[in-house]
Structure 1
């Protein structure tokens, strides 16, 4: 399938590899501050103005990039379904094709961010907060593919930054809300970690534009891990539905994440916990 470029009067200085909900949010924030952004998506007509859309299916083809005056590169891909095969095709092979296209254009970004996932840590049973120094233990095929994509990015984008996001929520996502409404909370003691999509977009823009060079790795999550039962109880009260099984703090299990490095870089979440984020 030939790449289709939507017209724009000025050279883009930002390339979004992946322009779904999060990528679009990032691009619109950068455009609002004066950057000219081109976003790769399967269908360019779904990329909203003033962003410039470029149609390409990265699982099948290398895109033909327009002329660029590149400052920023953001990789924010999305794969469906959650299988090792789909994740390899998108996150590993798709990333490779996008980077091949960039190399062919002779352009190198001044700043680059790869959006990854804290799934690469696996489900570590630990009493300590997980941070950027914690060894990764991907425990399924998709998580292994995410880690492989991180390695491809680090090898091919010198000085690039990896941002591992915890569970995204906000916007049109209603997964947990629907589970609470339908009474399908079965593991109230599991520790959960999340970040509002707007805070995730802010974090990427922050790492691209801060005056000091960012580190090579950050965890993006809100300020407070929470047991699923506590989050579900909060949502149930707001929805006016029966309360789910209560969380038992003594029986909490799963991983808890720290955002200390990202906060120390100057980023501050507008939704520090689920209590602020879900009403928003």
Structure 2
């Protein structure tokens, strides 16, 4: 851990996930600086640093750097926005770090399982599965992973499946409004708190992490099954049932992350949507 005066953690991006990671690290006694377009929105006890990474290199404060987390968010979901944020924006943050002469002891880049594209559901996707991005945003995420691997020796990429939990009510709203139109699609998700815990775990575990992990819960599920579970809890219209014979989309495995010592608090959607 850093000395008593200098922060030892840099968050590049501090949306809901980054803030959750920062608070967990602060609870462990780490000093955290978080870059966000509006630094005043960074929650206490994190220290906010205002910078628009799509346009400028941030002016970093003195750091006794141990941990680097890159958890950026791009809007809208276009190739241009993803390049500006994930490739060029991350590059500017890494330029600032290089100018400071600091290299983190541990670093995690948050990426997405979108880089795999869709595979037949009889294929259980893991870290050994070749990537095949099918659109511009996914290609930019994969390019960002490559830049990170080149510029941050020993860094770890965590490819997350669909985040949910916290203030996110996207699927709940669709179920309540009866707007489930593809019940046969296989879906994969991870609760935001479990994703944050996974990042902190990879930063702080005793043994060095591997270079790549898939972050998802224990149970890929067809959308119709998840929606039926939610509809019963919400007293909402019963959605169309899922049919495994018609299943399409990818299924993901978290076996490597599990084997590293991470255990999700919400192993399936049932626990995750219990609140």
Are the counterparts in 1 of residues 187 and 221 from structure 2 also a CA contact under 8 Å?
yes
Alpha-carbon separation, structure 1, partners of 2:218 and 2:137: 26
1:59-110 CA-partner distances (Å, limit 9, x unpaired): 0100000000000000000000000000000000000000000000000000
Q: Matched residue of 2:98: which SS?
A: helix
**Counterpart mapping for 1:107-126 below 5 A:** 107-126=102-121
* Runs of 5+ consecutive residues of structure 1 not aligned to the other structure: 1-8
* Range with greater deviation from structure 2 (242-251 or 199-208): 242-251
Corresponding residue to 1:36 among 31, 37, 40: 31
Counterpart Cα distance in 1 of 2:33 and 2:244: 47
The yes-or-no answer on 1:205 pairing with 2:206 is no
TM-score, with length taken from structure 2: 0.98
The answer to whether 1:129 aligns with 2:132 is no
Whether the 8 Å CA contact 2:68–2:108 is kept in 1: the answer is: yes
Q: TM-score, normalised by structure 1?
A: 0.96
**Aligned partner (choices 84, 89, 95) of residue 84 of structure 2:** 89
Deviation at residue 252 of structure 1 after TM alignment? 1.1
Corresponding residue for residue 257 of structure 1: 252
1:250 CA drift (Å)? 1.7
Deviation, structure 1 residue 182 = 1.1
For residues 181-200 of structure 1, what are the structure 2 equivalents within 5 Å?
181-200=176-195
**Matched pairs, number:** 272
Which residue in 1 is equivalent to 2:67? 72
Secondary structure at the counterpart of residue 96 of structure 1 = helix
In the other structure, the counterpart of 2:148 is: 153
The residue aligned with 2:240 is 245
SS at match of 1:114: strand
Q: Runs of 4 or more off by more than 6 Å in structure 1?
A: none
Computed over aligned residues only, the root mean square deviation of the Cα atoms, in angstroms, reads: 0.8
Q: Does 1:162 align with 2:188?
A: no
Unaligned runs of 5+ in 2: none
Partner of 1:234: 229
